[in-house]
């Protein structure tokens, strides 16, 4: 049973959409699925946040310096409209927290605030999808 719980937590580190159905396929309790997926999701968000500078330095250490390019205007409109809250909460709910944090790091956002809103999005997403899975299985 411990291996099943760790599997759900490890899957949630990368993608919660895969972790919650896996937990139901393993026959785990919805509470255990929820706790394991929240733990894994928050762990993935923290690793992405605190290792983002090292990852960026690793990939760009031998890259020649180029002139700064202008970014797409739609990206700036979305960023100006929704800000850190939109990127953290909605981004982690729709795309996943590691992707939202990577985009925020690219936009030079405050990573502590972004991490806070990503954690809120992770908990909300785990609540919603665990409830949907639980009541969906009750229908059958």
**Phi first, then psi: what are they for 66, rounded to 5°?**
-115, 170
Half-sphere exposure for 59 (CA within 13 Å, toward CB)? 5
Residue 67 is predicted with a pLDDT of 56
pTM: predicted TM-score of the whole model, two decimal places: 0.84
**Phi first, then psi: what are they for 62, rounded to 5°?**
-105, 10
Residue 87 is predicted with a pLDDT of 87
For the ranges 5-9, 70-74, 101-105, 106-110, the lowest mean pLDDT is seen at 70-74
Give the model confidence (pLDDT) of 15-67 as tens digits. Answer: 899 999 999 999 999 999 999 999 999 999 999 998 877 766 776 676 666 65
**Phi first, then psi: what are they for 86, rounded to 5°?**
-65, -45
Measured CA to CA in angstroms, residue 125 lies from 17, 23, 95, 99, 128 at distances of: 9, 15, 11, 15, 5
At residue 71 the predicted structure's pLDDT band, cuts being 50, 70 and 90, is low
Find the Cα–Cα–Cα–Cα dihedral 124, 125, 131, 134, rounded to 10°.
Answer: -150
In the numeric block, the tokens 């990577």 are attached to 102
- Rounded CA-CA distance 102/52 in Å is 7
């Amino acid at each position: 049973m411990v291996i099943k719980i760790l599997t759900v937590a490890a899957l949630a580190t990368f993608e919660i959409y895969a972790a919650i159905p896996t937990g139901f396929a393993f026959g785990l309790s919805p509470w255990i699925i929820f706790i394991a997926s929240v733990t894994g999701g928050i762990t993935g968000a923290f690793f992405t946040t605190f290792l983002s500078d090292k990852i960026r330095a690793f990939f760009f250490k031998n890259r020649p310096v180029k002139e700064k390019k202008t970014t797409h205007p739609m990206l700036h409109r979305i960023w100006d409209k929704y800000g850190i809250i939109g990127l953290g909460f909605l981004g982690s709910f729709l795309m996943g927290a590691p992707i939202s944090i990577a985009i925020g790091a690219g936009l030079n956002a405050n990573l502590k605030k972004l991490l806070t809103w990503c954690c809120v999005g992770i908990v909300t997403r785990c609540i919603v999808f665990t409830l949907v899975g639980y009541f969906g299985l009750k229908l059958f």
